[in-house]
Amino acid sequence: MSRQDTVHDAVQSVVGLYRDRFELLQAEKRPKIGYVSIQTPEEIFLAAGIVPFRLTGEEGTDTSEASARLSQNYCSYVLSCFGEGLAGRYDFADGVIFADACDMRKRLWEAWTRDVPGSTSYFLELPNDASAISKEYFTLQLRKLLRKLEGQYGREIGEEALREAIQTCNRSRALMQRLYEYKKGRWQALSGEESIQVVKAATTGLKEPFNARMSALLAALEAAEQPPARKRHRVMICGSYFDHQGIIDTIEEAGADIVCEDISNGVKYFEGEIDLDAEPVAAIADYYLEKHTSARILDTDVRIQHLLDLALEYRVDSIIYYALKFCDTNLHDFPYVRERLREERIPVLFIEGERNATNIAGAKTRIQTFLESRMF
């Protein structure tokens, strides 16, 4: 077997955690709780002996019933997750936790509580900034969640368990950060699809096998002979929840590389780390509020500076800002983002679409025209 084949097999091993997630989660003896937003502190659940996994809505392609109970004017990610819940896809889990990441996800919590029987729903209030008082408030919310989990599962969640969970999640973050170092260079070891699926694999909650498989992937990459450097247009994706394969294929078939995904299925999920030396609950609260990466956060300039820093770090040539229809936070955010990018002379293309849209001919033409005008 060649070294490149070894890399391919290692990538598929990591991605397999996500591809086979339902079977793996159902076979897992520990309790399972789903979550919708990456602002949900996985460490709290892991310390309680619970597997926290993210709802992705990929199988919720028929959103008619979800739309009837909520509205057609909802983002397709929320509707697809709700559609899966109504269809019983998550009956193997004890419940789902919803963070107050946007108004539609708050409405999703209300509808889930009402319409998905047998599923315990939790709601986590999430401040809109990272001020000292907000961190203190969020810390109190996490302690409240801890007490609720202790009462429900009959076990005490101590500092040692919290530190072990933090260490495990920090390990996952560090491994993904090492992987993305390859995307900063000329050798794009993973395609755009593979990069997003690796991050999705991390959100299955199966941290130990993920860390082991990621370590094997990194070892395979380090041992592989890098192909000759190539000069290709470097694209960053940012905006709403994104995993649209048609958009990814259009970018790569045009001759560009997706070198950074500033989205919840990309660097937003794994950047930074939690301070192991601080009091655990406060450290968790600080980490999740200080990332400043969500469009719901009030500190817009901090977030945009983070975007500009990523563009410099990954040597980005242009940005595609993808917003789901009715994703109010990102739709409202884009005009200011566009102006700041223009000031920095970074080309940006705005695409608005649906999660499961199949007819994307118009979007493909716009992407091709945008990229080709900058590549040739």
- The two three-digit tokens of residue 322, written as one number: 């993808």
Mean pLDDT for 361-371 is 94
| 310: in domain | no
42 located within any domain: yes
Pick from 13-17, 60-64, 77-81, 274-278: least confident: 60-64
Tell me if 167 is assigned to some domain: no
pLDDT of residue 227 exceeding 90: no
pLDDT of residue 84: 95
Q: State the average pLDDT over residues 208-221.
A: 96
Nearest Cα residue to 47 out of 195, 175, 207, 202: 207
Q: What is the pLDDT of residue 292?
A: 64
- d(CA 259, CA 274) in angstroms, rounded, equals 25
306, 293 Cβ separation under 8 angstroms = yes
Can you say how many angstroms the Cα of residue 281 is from the centroid of all Cα atoms in its chain?
A: 22
Instruction: Tell me the mean pLDDT in the region 28-34.
Output: 96
Other C-beta atoms closer than 10 Å to the C-beta of 87 total: 15
Q: Who has greater pLDDT, 188 or 81?
A: 81
Q: Is the pLDDT of residue 341 over 70?
A: yes
Give the total number of structural domains in the chain: 1
Greatest alpha-carbon pair distance for the chain in Å reads: 64
Domain-embedded: residue 54:
yes
Contact 344, 307 (CB under 8 A): no
pLDDT at residue number 159 = 96
Tell me, yes or no, whether 298 lies in a domain.
Answer: no
Average pLDDT estimate for 270-277? 96
State the number of CA atoms in the 13 A half-sphere of 252 facing the CB.
14
Distance CA 60, CA 66 (A): 9
* Residue at token pair 């999430």: 126
Percent of the chain with pLDDT over 90: 81
63: tokens are 């959103």
Mean pLDDT over 294-316 rounds to 89
Choice between 163 and 374, residue whose per-residue pLDDT is larger: 163
Mean pLDDT of the chain: 93
Domain coverage including residue 155: 15-160
> Residue 105 and residue 37: Cα distance in Å, rounded?
9
- CATH number of the domain residue 30 falls in: 3.40.50.11890
pLDDT tens figures, 102-155: 889 999 999 999 999 888 999 999 998 889 999 999 999 999 999 999 999 999
CA–chain centroid gap for 324, Å, is 15
Structure tokens at 164: 């072990």
The yes-or-no verdict on residue 226 having pLDDT over 80 is no
Cβ atoms of residues 130 and 7 within 8 Å: no
The predicted pLDDT at position 210 comes to 98
Does residue 250 belong to any structural domain of this protein? no
Q: 3-state DSSP: the chain helix, strand, coil percent, rounded to 5?
A: 55, 10, 35
**Does some domain include residue 303?**
no
Q: Give the pLDDT of residue 229.
A: 67
Per-residue pLDDT, 239 = 93
SS3 116: coil
pLDDT at 23: 97
User: How many residues are there in the chain?
Assistant: 376
CA angle 231, 233, 237 (to 5 degrees): 140
Which tokens is 104 given? 């539609």
**What are the backbone angles phi and psi of residue 124, rounded to the nearest 5°?**
-115, 115
pLDDT band (50, 70, 90) for residue 60: confident
Over the stretch 152-177, which tens digit does the pLDDT of each residue have?
Answer: 999 999 999 999 999 999 999 999 99
Residue 1 has pLDDT above 60, yes or no: no
- Does residue 333 lie in a domain region? no
Pairing of strands 32-35, 233-239: unpaired
Name the token pair of 160.
């040692």
- Beta pairing, strands 256-262 & 51-54: unpaired
5-14, 86-95, 250-259: lowest mean pLDDT where? 5-14
